[in-house]
């Protein structure tokens, strides 16, 4: 039996279009062979991961593992950070979902065997969390990857409808749909720390991690433990062709060099729609469809993440 703490594995069996459930025998066999003390708990529906993680009987040294995609990670984070803890909770990730954007930043392998090898080594690193208040979450919701406003969010809404399409391709199709649609952009005032900018914003990304949508680097220079969130806003491009060009730059993270880009970093960020409304999500979870105000803050070192 491992001398390290117990692994509490919160697994979403429907993640990866149901493929996550097929990984259970492999996970159990691997951990038994390693002599790990573990318990595997299946979620039964949306929000279940929050309740499970919040109510686990965690002892010192135990780790809670999110086994699924970004949605599972977000639920586990919200459950862990709702607990009364004496220190930052220890979290691991088995990225076996449809979208595994966050896990790409700390370079957690998408291969289940390799991710398990990393997990049992228990190498822990500080992990900041973000916290957004507004819309459907007036009391706030934690996130570890990022908040998207505008074009990014609408793309995600359309991609989510494509249940049988691979995550990255669905996001690309969603981008094409929204380029053709080219909805009006809200006039957004962004205040962060001692700075302020107002612009007709086609896209606003507030990032702790770097990637969303499978292959789009919304925060290419974001760090997970610097106590700051990266901001990348895109002033409404002139015409669909220019919008298409700017969006294509997200695949390499070079949109920050476009003339429409306004970037920054902040620990406390406020977004206010002076005209129009904001469509927003955090880690893929819908925050609002036509919101007028959001408050976003960084919680430095809120968690410890098992990584390389």
Q: What is the DSSP string of 245-301?
A: HHHHHTTTTGGGGSTTEEEEEESEEEEEEEES-EEEEETTEEEEEEESEEEEEEEEE
Question: Looking at residues 196-200, what average pLDDT do you find?
Answer: 97
* Contact indicator for 293, 270 with CB cutoff of 8 Å: yes
**Fold entry, domain 132-302:** Tumour Suppressor Smad4 (2.60.200)
CATH classification for the domain delimited by 7-122, as one of 3.40.50.10330, 3.90.660.10, 3.40.50.300, 3.10.20.30: 3.40.50.10330
What Cα–Cα distance (Å) separates residue 285 from each residue in 58, 66, 86, 247, 280? 26, 16, 28, 22, 9
Structure confidence by residue, pLDDT tens digits, 107-142: 999 999 999 999 999 999 999 999 999 999 999 999
pLDDT for position 261: 98
Q: Of 116, 89, 142, which is closest to residue 23 (Cα–Cα)?
A: 116
Decide: residue 181, CB within 10 A, 0-12 exposed, 13-18 middle, 19+ buried: exposed
pLDDT for position 166: 64
Left if phi > 0, otherwise alpha if psi is -120 to 50, otherwise beta: which for 41? Answer: beta
* Contact indicator for 8, 65 with CB cutoff of 8 Å: yes
Q: What is the mean pLDDT of the chain?
A: 93
For the ranges 3-17, 21-35, 103-117, the lowest mean pLDDT is seen at 3-17
For the ranges 3-12, 131-140, 150-159, the lowest mean pLDDT is seen at 150-159
* Contact indicator for 147, 130 with CB cutoff of 8 Å: yes
Question: Looking at residues 59-78, what average pLDDT do you find?
Answer: 96
pLDDT for position 33: 96
Decide: residue 165, CB within 10 A, 0-12 exposed, 13-18 middle, 19+ buried: middle
Structure confidence by residue, pLDDT tens digits, 27-45: 999 999 999 999 999 999 9
pLDDT for position 163: 67
Question: Looking at residues 72-77, what average pLDDT do you find?
Answer: 97
Q: How many whole angstroms separate alpha carbon 209 and alpha carbon 308? A: 16
pLDDT for position 39: 98
pLDDT for position 186: 94
Q: How many whole angstroms separate alpha carbon 18 and alpha carbon 41? A: 16
- What burial letters (b/e) apply to 116-143, b meaning 16+ CB within 10 Å? bebbbebebeebbbbbbbbbebeeebbb
DSSP string, 20-35: GGGGHHHHHHHHHHTT
Question: Looking at residues 36-62, what average pLDDT do you find?
Answer: 96
Q: Where are the domains of the chain?
A: 7-122, 132-302
């Amino acid at each position: 039996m491992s001398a390290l703490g117990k692994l509490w594995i919160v697994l979403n069996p429907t993640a990866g279009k149901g493929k996550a459930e097929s990984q259970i025998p492999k996970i159990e066999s691997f951990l038994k062979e390693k002599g790990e003390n573990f318990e595997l708990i299946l979620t039964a529906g949306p929000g279940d991961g929050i309740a499970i993680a919040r109510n686990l009987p965690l002892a010192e040294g135990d780790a809670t593992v999110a086994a699924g995609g970004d949605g599972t990670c977000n639920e586990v984070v919200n459950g862990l950070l709702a607990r009364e803890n004496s220190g930052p909770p220890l979290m691991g990730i088995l990225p076996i979902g449809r979208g595994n954007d966050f896990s790409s930043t700390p370079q957690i392998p998408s291969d289940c065997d390799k991710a398990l090898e990393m997990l049992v080594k228990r190498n822990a690193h500080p992990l900041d969390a973000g916290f957004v208040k507004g819309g459907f979450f007036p009391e706030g919701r934690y996130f570890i990857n990022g908040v998207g406003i505008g074009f990014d969010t609408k793309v995600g809404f359309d991609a989510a409808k494509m249940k049988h399409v691979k995550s990255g391709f669905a996001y690309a199709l969603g981008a094409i749909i929204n380029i053709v649609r080219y909805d009006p952009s809200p006039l957004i005032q962004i205040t962060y720390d001692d700075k302020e900018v107002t612009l007709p914003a086609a896209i606003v990304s507030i990032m702790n991690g770097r990637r969303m949508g499978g292959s789009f680097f919304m925060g290419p220079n974001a760090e997970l433990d610097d106590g700051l969130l990266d901001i990348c806003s895109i002033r409404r491009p002139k015409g669909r062709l220019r919008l298409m060009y700017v969006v294509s730059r997200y695949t390499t993270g070079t949109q920050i060099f476009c003339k429409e880009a306004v970037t920054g970093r902040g620990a406390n960020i406020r977004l206010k729609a002076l005209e129009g409304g904001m469509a927003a999500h955090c880690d893929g979870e819908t925050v609002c469809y036509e919101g007028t105000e959001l408050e976003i803050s960084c919680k430095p070192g809120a968690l410890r993440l098992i990584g390389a």
